[in-house]
Amino acid sequence: MTTPQSIVPLAAWLDPERVFCGWADRFENAFWLDAGPGATSARSWVGIGESVASTVVEQVVVRGSVAEDDSRSDERGPRPGGWVGWFAYDGGARRAGAPTLSDSDDETRWMRVRAVVEFDHATSRATVFAGGDARELATELAALPHPGAVGEPTPVVASSRHDAATYAALIEQCREQIRQGNAYQLCLTTRFEVEGAVDAVAAYRRLRRGVSAHHGGFVRIADRALLSASPEQFLDVDRGRVRTHPIKGTRPRSADSVIDAELAEDLRTDVKERAENVMIVDLMRNDLSRICEIGSVTVERLFDVESYPAVHQLVSTVAGNLFPGLEVGELLGATFPAGSMTGAPKLSAMSILQRLEGAPRGIFAGCFGWVSLQGDLDLAMVIRSIVVENGRAYVGAGGGITWLSHPPSEVAEVVVKARGPLAALGASVPSGWTMVAPDA
């Protein structure tokens, strides 16, 4: 399946932020899949589109075999006719058979791409792709004003779904469920909220400067906007080869290089963190084995430490060759919600977490990204993210709980993860959280 498109290379490089600010100001449905400030590799995409039902995306047939049509590898990305959006956590949990506290699929939203500017950071080349006349768009882009400096918001203290003491008590309840044999690991989460109107574009500009990420982005569809500094790629499908990159295990960064290196090494060798990571690796191996050719599922890397401005993370990669003819919905049915945001065994973990957390997760812990007409896709986890909707903004955060978990350390990890997104809103965590986690 193809869609007619016009392609025009730009004569000169444009800052993606300039295009994003111009289009986000003009169009309701807009996105920026962002390689990050100062990127020298990878690609970014800024685009616009029209809302579509998520079922349209779920029915897309995933691209063929690993050996098929290597010549089209340069077509990867959200081109016109493809889709950009997100799948919310609760809809995925419900389809997987877990109880949820939300009966609505309204939180899941997608747009069909109408026009996009692709920025190749390795070559400093930008190209306009449009379903209509890309030449007209290219002319308009050259005339876009440079965005001014983004201002700082009024400081505010966020509210929290659970206070720190309650969250610590929930950690102990997770440990009790593990002791009873009902789960091996549980990804417990909470939410911080900021009431009042939020300028989503300004907040994202602050977020990307404060929390650098490989899989960040801004997606606004109708009255909801997702602003993400996600470090975790959930699913990448390229010509029938699927990869997932679960993150489990976190340490804060230090300004002292010696201490920072010690923190990274402590993460790499920590028994609890490695156990937590390998449980999710095994879960994802099981998930992928349901939709991949026999013998093709492999662990490509295990226990790698990746470092970001605020945290070190323990990352692994699982991959496999997909059965031919799969639809996106079938792929998600086997893998979503991601095991890194549920725990293991997955169905039991989701059921326990629904009881303990006591409220829907919404878009947080879901996934977002693009699906192409050819059936390739790239979806990141909705973590280290802000959701703006209905006169408020919220930030979800949490961590994996095992029998070896230490509640004060887990509380501190939540603060580390939430601080960056909250700072983009001018918000701080409630005082009780910093008192329980003074070193976070």
Instruction: Confirm if 16 and 146 have CB atoms less than 8 A apart.
Output: no
The gap from C-alpha 30 to its chain's centroid, in whole angstroms, comes to 17
The span from the CA of 349 to the CA of 340, in Å, is: 11
Closest Cα to residue 432, out of 210, 245, 168, 223? 168
Q: Which two tokens stand for residue 414?
A: 């939540």
The span from the CA of 122 to the CA of 141, in Å, is: 21
> What single letter denotes the amino acid at residue 409?
S
Peptide bond into 345 cis (omega under 30): yes
Instruction: Confirm if 61 and 371 have CB atoms less than 8 A apart.
Output: no
Active site residue 417: no
C-alpha dist (Å) from residue 186 to 167, 353, 396: 13, 7, 16
Which residue is catalytic, options 17, 58, 232, 330? 232
Instruction: Confirm if 348 and 186 have CB atoms less than 8 A apart.
Output: no
> What single letter denotes the amino acid at residue 171?
I
Instruction: Confirm if 422 and 434 have CB atoms less than 8 A apart.
Output: no
Closest Cα to residue 251, out of 238, 227, 270? 270
The span from the CA of 91 to the CA of 362, in Å, is: 9
The span from the CA of 420 to the CA of 395, in Å, is: 10
> What single letter denotes the amino acid at residue 233?
Q
The conformation of residue 62, written as its DSSP 8-state character, comes to: P
Which residue is catalytic, options 58, 118, 248, 410? 248
| Residue environment code for 316-348, b if the CB has 16+ CB neighbours within 10 A, otherwise e | bbbbbbbbeebebebbbbbbbbbbbbbbbbbeb
Closest Cα to residue 217, out of 235, 199, 229? 229
Active site residue 248: yes
C-alpha dist (Å) from residue 265 to 272, 368, 402: 14, 31, 20
The residues annotated with a catalytic role in the active site are: 232, 248
